[in-house]
Structures are given as structure tokens and as C-alpha cells.
Amino acid sequence: MDWNEITVKVPVSSVDSAAAIANMTVPYGIYIEDYSNLEADAEEIAHIDLIDEDLVNKDRENALIHIYVSSDDNAAEAISYLKERLTAESIPYDVVKTTVDDESWNENWKKYFKAFEVGNRLAVCPSWETYENTGNRKVIALDPGAAFGTGAHATTYLCLGMLEDTVTGKTELLDIGTGSGILAVAACLLGAKSAVGVDIDELAVETAKHNARRNGVEAKTEFFAGDLAEKVTGKYDIICANIVADVVMRLFENVGDYMKDGGLLLVSGIINMRAAEVEKSAKEHGFKIIKAPVREEWHAYLLEKE
């Protein structure tokens, strides 16, 4: 399959706001090149201090946001939306569209996706990398495919950290907007009884199934295509939704129907400028905020139905 790659260049000071806008154009995510804190990020994520010269010479003032739209979808519509919203937010930008095939897309991922650690018990390692597991961590072997969701982005990182604190051997989990399946797979590796993932995109569903098999949790997982919870049945101990603010607030309306008594709702993908709005909506729909971690201007919430 061919893909339309839309690359948006914005100042690093505006990258989080621009990323929130970009996330609205596709159901399966984006990836960002931001080298403004290269040395610190290399130490924190990869635990290295020797950095390739090509990376050192990257632009530190601007970030690149990469969006992939399949050849079957309308790239012009996505670009029009981006330009309209970025202009409305007074964010300077340049937009370029190119065409790439699956092989080129995968090679791009191999350049930017490296093994890294999350919290105290997890590590994420792409299928083409090796990870020296000296800390006895649960290692998520991940092939992001075209569904993204590597865990490196702050929103997924926050979700993984909260799963560490909430998953038990009795947990039945639902992941809405599962993407690469990383949260469902992580929950099972942390000991969950089962995990169900749903995504509007068929390609994401296939990628999630592949990652469950790769991690040996296929028997504990189920993935299917659907819009939010429209095809979901049953009730769950933990429901995850790492999406965007507007969709999270839409979810508040009926997600309680799928939560067991004492169940937890874990949401992320909330940029700073939408946090107060999401918190207000959560409370209006009868949710109590238990935790509200923040990372790189992104907010996540652990909620309980009152």
C-alpha cells in the first residue's frame, strides 16, 4: 500500500499544540522529530551519551510532525484541516506532502524507534532492536506497523506507568483506540487476566493481533474493529482510552456502562490547553479524579465512577 506522508514543520515551542491538532487528522497516530533536548532525551530514554553526528546536526529550533494518510483516504482534506487549525492557533508552519510505500515507511520507523524503559517494571523494544534486560523488566516486543503507538510518546508513556500501578491478576481490561495494541499487551505482561482492544482502523487491529502473538499473550487478548465502544459487550475492571480530548469527552457519556463496580477509567492524549475542559467534563459525568500525571505538557487521568 502507498501512503501520503504529510510533514508539518513548526517551532519547537508550539510542537505540543500542533501535535494535538495533527492527531485529529488520523485515527492511528503520528510521530514527531524534535531534537531540541537531544542530549537529555538520549540519556533518559536510551541511556547513551554518544550520539550520531547526523543527529547532533539536526535542526534544534523546529520540530517535524509526520502524519500518514493511506492512499484510500483524502490527504487534501487532512492538509486543509491542518492549515485551518494551525492558523487559528497562530502557529507558524510549513506543510509538505510526499508519497511513500510500506517498505519506506518501515525504514523510517527503524531510524527513530529505539528500545527504552517505562516506569519501574516495563521496557519497550522494537522487533529489530535488542534490549539488555538487567532490571528484570517485562519487555514489550513491539512492531508498530502503520498503527503507531510505540509508547515513546508522552501520552502512551503515562498510560503504561498507570497500568503498572493498577493491573492485577484478576484484571479484565478494555483498550479503546488500541492502535498497535501496546496497552493491551502491556496489561497482559503485567499479569492481567485478559485484555480486549478495539480500534476504528482495520490495519491497527491487525497490527495489534500481530503484537499480541509476538509477546505470547494471544490467548489472553481479543482485538476487533469498531468506533469507540459501539461493538463492546461485557464489563471491565480497567478501561483505557489514549485518544484525544474531544473523543475522550464523548466517551464519558456512556463508558460507565462497561465498567464493573469499582472499575477504573484511564484516559490520556490530553494537551495542556484542553485539560481543564476534560476535567470539567469528567466531573459532570460522575467521575472522580484519582491521579492526574503530566508529562511534556500532556495530561493523563485515572478516574473512578462515583
Structural domains in the chain, sorted by start: 2-107 (3.30.70), 151-305 (3.40.50.150)
Report, as an integer, the average pLDDT of 126-138. 85
Residue 190 DSSP label: T
Top-confidence residue, 271 or 127? 271
Which SS3 state, helix, strand or coil, does residue 265 take? strand
Which SS3 state, helix, strand or coil, does residue 37 take? coil
Cα torsion angle, 5, 6, 11, 17, sign: negative
Q: Which pLDDT does position 237 carry in this prediction?
A: 97
* 105: pLDDT strictly greater than 80: no
Q: Which pLDDT does position 206 carry in this prediction?
A: 87
Nearest one of 234, 229, 256, 117 to 175, comparing CA atoms? 229
pTM flag (> 0.75): no
Per-residue DSSP letters for 80-103? Answer: HHHHHHHHHTT---EEEEEEEEHH
The share of the chain scoring above pLDDT 70, in percent, equals 83
Nearest one of 112, 69, 78, 90 to 18, comparing CA atoms? 90
Contacts (Cβ under 8 Å, ≥6 apart) of 225 = 198, 199, 200, 201, 202, 205
pLDDT digits (tens, 9 = 90+) for 59-79: 678 988 988 887 777 788 888
Average pLDDT of the chain is: 83
pLDDT digits (tens, 9 = 90+) for 13-66: 898 888 888 877 775 567 788 776 654 454 444 444 433 445 445 667 898 898
C-alpha cell at 26: 488520523
According to DSSP, the β-strands at 259-271 and 194-199 are unpaired
Residues 248, 269 contacting (CB under 8 angstroms): yes
The share of the chain scoring above pLDDT 90, in percent, equals 43
Beta strand ranges found along the chain (DSSP E): 2-11, 30-33, 62-70, 94-101, 116-118, 122-126, 138-142, 172-176, 194-199, 221-225, 236-242, 259-271, 287-291, 294-295, 298-305
Distances (CA, A) of 247 to 117, 172, 269: 28, 23, 10
How far, in Å, CA of 5 to CA of 53, rounded? 26
Angle at 173 between CA 167 and CA 177, to 5 degrees: 120
Q: Which pLDDT does position 107 carry in this prediction?
A: 65
Which range is least confidently modeled, 29-33, 119-123, 146-150, 279-283?
Answer: 146-150
Residues 271, 154 contacting (CB under 8 angstroms): no
